[in-house]
Amino acid sequence: MSALNEWPTPSGWLYGFIDTSVPGYRKLSNDGTALQLADGYYSFPAYVDELNTRMATDGGTATTDSLGRVVISGAAPMTWTDRLGWMIGLDVKPGDDSGSSASRTSDRPPPAAIPLVSVSWSRIDRAVETTITVDRYQRGHGYLFGDNDLMRFRLLLHVQALRSFRSRWCLAGQVIISTKSPADFSTDSTWSPSNTDGYIQGYVVGTEGGKWLDPTRTLWAVDLIISKA
């Protein structure tokens, strides 16, 4: 049986953005040494790169594995000063620490790096865009700018990824859909007709549907609507 923090090797990723210029997701203590991420508006892969840079100033590291789990190593105990630990997929609260362990690995997919079993997309005909619905809290509502393309992405998620998807971090604001893992995202480039394996960046408009595809409730399918420049 797989460990609780394992899921199938992803074929795609849904990335969110984190703003470290405001309090919330930017601090930790490495055995008493306070560390803070530099101010910026980071995609999740860039966020982990910045975390690794901060950890390196005190002899630590922060990397990701093939499943997208963050592996953070430092000096025990590491204390989660704010919600940075939650953002990298740890089941921790502000003030928790790692005890005698000098290394931690994500307990679940990070809420701003959702692994996808599969992903496909199509453009939406503007004549029927009024059929798009958003959730009852309006959290999925976004804006359409000028002649932006409206796109529907069919996402297939493992149950472990669904838990993080439902945290809603990637259901509003700016997101990226890519076939590259966090560790390899720096090699990616934007999608074009000549670069069909590139990433697509845009703003979430809403979601449609959502259903289990198997009786064991392991795989969940949902449509994500994105406005792309």
pLDDT on residue 197: 85
**For residue 224, which phi and psi values (nearest 5 degrees)?**
-115, 125
CA–CA distance, 120 with 107 (Å, rounded to integer): 27
CA–CA distance, 147 with 15 (Å, rounded to integer): 24
pLDDT on residue 193: 85
| Bond from prior residue into 77 cis (ω within 30 degrees of 0) | yes
What percentage of the chain has pLDDT greater than the value 90? 81
Q: Which tokens hold the place of 101?
A: 């362990």
Confidence of residue 145 (pLDDT cuts 50, 70, 90): very low
Instruction: Give 150-195 pLDDT, tens digit per residue.
Output: 999 999 999 999 999 999 999 999 999 999 999 999 999 998 888 8
Confidence of residue 8 (pLDDT cuts 50, 70, 90): very high
Contact 112, 19 (CB under 8 A): no
pTM of the model: 0.89
Count of Cβ atoms closer than 10 Å to residue 143 Cβ: 8
pLDDT at 20 over 60: yes
Look at residue 190 and give its three-state secondary structure.
Answer: strand
Contact 35, 59 (CB under 8 A): no
Round the average pLDDT of the chain to a whole number and report it.
90
Instruction: Give 54-110 pLDDT, tens digit per residue.
Output: 999 999 999 999 999 999 999 999 999 999 999 999 999 999 999 999 999 999 999
